[in-house]
Amino acid sequence: MSKTALVTGASKGIGLETVRRLATSDLNITTIVLMARASQDYDDNFAELQKDIPEGVTLVRETVDVGDRDVLIEAIHRVYAQVGRIHYLINNAGYTNPVAIHQVEFDDFERTMAVNVYAPFTLVQELLHLGNKFKVIVNIASTAGINGRAGWLTYSASKAAVINMSEVMRDELKIYGTRVVCLSPGRTATALRRVLAPEEDPTTIMQPQHVAKVIETMLGSTGQYIDQQNVIVRQ
């Protein structure tokens, strides 16, 4: 039976590479919903992606800021009405503005929580309320959520929340046979990483394709043997 995947933060980085991999995986995914904010990157990369994907795979492009809960809920309902059951949900969208505690603006902390924590929660809860039965949910956390880092208060706190939220989801959604995977990538060459470490040479660290490959593995049958805890992905 053909499957549907939904990937947030799909305009670039890990999200984009995940869409690319899933389109050619042996998971029988024939519909992939992409969620991301409007951007030139999104336009360019989506156009590129359309050329690459094999015949028989449909990409559904949803332009939405997942950090805006009301707008996100509308998008979820629209997508569900259009594509029906979402088998695989990859909560990948992330936001950070790393500053020291004295400089944290509360609005920015709320924005971080909205994108990194409330958005994955809202996607899961709204789809459950709609009667969706997930096969696998992947929440992208971070090694920064395992150990707090000076200067990354809001990001570390939000990713720690993702790790713990994933554990609760794993336990509660067991009644549906849903697997909940929590991945914590270390340094990965993404736009978000450039914000966290602007001086770093991105060619020396893990690439988004590597994480996307792990996500593909976790969605497949091998994933069920290694999904019981937060999985660290590191080069």
Partner 1 sequence: MISLLLLNGGIGARAKTAGPKQFVKINGVPILVYSLKEADEVEAITEIVVNYPAGHLDTVEQLVRDYAIATPVKFVEAGTTRQESVAKLLDAADNDTVMIHESARPLVTAQDFAALANSEHANVGFMREISFTVAPVDPDTQRVTGSLERARLRNVQLPQKFAAADLRKGHEFAIAEGRTFTEDATMCADAGIDVFFIEGDESNLKVTTPGDVRLATHLFRTRGEDDE
Q: Contact between 73 and partner 1 (CB under 8 A)?
A: no
Range in contact with partner 1 (rule: CB under 8 A) among 11-19, 70-78, 128-136, 201-209: 128-136
CA dist 25 and 41 (Å) reads 24
Provide the minimum distance between the beta carbon of 69 and partner 1 in the complex, in angstroms, as a whole number.
Answer: 18
Provide the minimum distance between the beta carbon of 151 and partner 1 in the complex, in angstroms, as a whole number.
Answer: 35
From 114, 195, 206, 129, select the one nearest 162 (Cα to Cα).
114
Q: Is 126 helix (H, G, I), strand (E, B) or coil?
A: helix
Degrees (nearest 5) of the Cα angle 87, 143, 26?
30
Provide the minimum distance between the beta carbon of 197 and partner 1 in the complex, in angstroms, as a whole number.
Answer: 38
Q: Are 33 and 86 in contact (CB under 8 A)?
A: yes
From 97, 96, 76, select the one nearest 162 (Cα to Cα).
96
CB nearer partner 1, residue 117 or residue 169: 169
CA dist 83 and 70 (Å) reads 20
Q: Contact between 224 and partner 1 (CB under 8 A)?
A: no
Range in contact with partner 1 (rule: CB under 8 A) among 75-83, 102-110, 123-131, 141-149: 123-131
Among residues 57, 73, 83, 130, the one that binds partner 1 under rule CB under 8 A: 130
Residue 41, both tokens: 């990157």
Interaction pattern, residues 78-107, with partner 1; x per rule: CB under 8 A? ------------------------------
Range in contact with partner 1 (rule: CB under 8 A) among 20-28, 65-73, 152-160, 171-179: 171-179
Q: Which stretches of the chain are DSSP H helices? A: 13-23, 40-52, 69-83, 106-113, 119-129, 153-172, 191-196, 208-219
Report the C-alpha dihedral over residues 131, 139, 203, 209, rounded to 10 degrees: -40
Q: Contact between 229 and partner 1 (CB under 8 A)?
A: no
CB nearer partner 1, residue 78 or residue 174: 174
**Which residues make up the interface to partner 1 (CB under 8 A)?**
128-132, 168, 171-172, 174-176
